[in-house]
Amino acid sequence: MKNQMIKVYKDLMGQNSLWAEKIRLILKESKVTMINLIGSPGCGKTSLLEKMTTLFPGKRDFAVLEGDVETTHDAERLNALGVPVSQLLTSGACHLEAKMVYHALIDLPLPSLKLVIVENVGNLVCPAEFDIGEHAKVAVLSVTEGEDKPVKYPLLFREAKAVVLTKIDLIPHLSFNKDACLNYIKQVNGTVPVFEISSLSGDGVHSLVEWIYSL
């Protein structure tokens, strides 16, 4: 018996990257911007989208792709507000992959849209790994989580084009150290913009929306 080494050098995200490229092509052709919203379960991703809708009642140029492990609850919440929304159920998988997003995307009325927001499955690790052809990953972190999340999950905060700090109206009731949190974000991604928002009062949501539409 003799052994032989076979060189391969094959990208292990190859299949996902192909689908992500297809998505980029469609987005470019239809002049639509796509945002990939990533944060823990319960950090306020859906509430932020609800607030965006109610703050801008005339704006109907965006759609949402709602990623969840189970149930259509989040899609129903947004649908009740008149937002075009498709639910992507992963049935256990902890992130969305490009192939799944592609099929949902082509079912949207793209010619009437300027923006698609993908609300990824609540998780700070896996969704950061998967390119879904988006223009920007946006990391969502709430003040009820630890200040040090950015250094615990560096890939997400490093990849993010913006960080949204949610539930800031709760700060007076918490021991959350905002300066320490902002410093941790800076240590992982020195140039990323941070938007401090409250989906309850609407504080900060305008500037986030302006930033998204400027992409």
Task: List, in sequence order, every residue forming a beta bridge with 64; answer none if it has no partner.
Answer: 85, 117
Among the listed ranges 2-10, 35-43, 53-61, 202-210, the one in contact with another protein (CB under 8 A) is 2-10
Cα 113 from chain centre: 18
Q: Under rule CB under 8 A, how many of the chain's residues touch another protein?
A: 36
Which residues face 162 on adjacent strands? Answer: 138
Cβ atoms of 36 and 120 within 8 Å: the answer is yes
**80-88, 102-110, 124-132, 201-209 -> range binding another protein (CB under 8 A):** 124-132
Place of tokens 């539409």: 213
Distance, first Cα to last Cα, the chain: 59
Q: Binding of another protein at residue 36 (CB under 8 A)? A: no
Site for another protein in 151-210 (CB under 8 A): 151-155, 158, 186-191
Taking the complex as a whole, the smallest distance from the CB of residue 45 to another protein amounts, in Å, to: 19
CB 199 to another protein: min, Å: 28
> Interface with another protein includes 77 (CB under 8 A)?
no
Cβ–Cβ under 8 Å, residues 157 and 185? yes
Residue 184 neighbours by CB distance under 10 Å: 21
State the minimum distance, in angstroms, from the CB of residue 28 to another protein.
24
Residues found near another protein in the complex (CB under 8 A): 1-16, 93-95, 97, 125-126, 129-130, 151-155, 158, 186-191
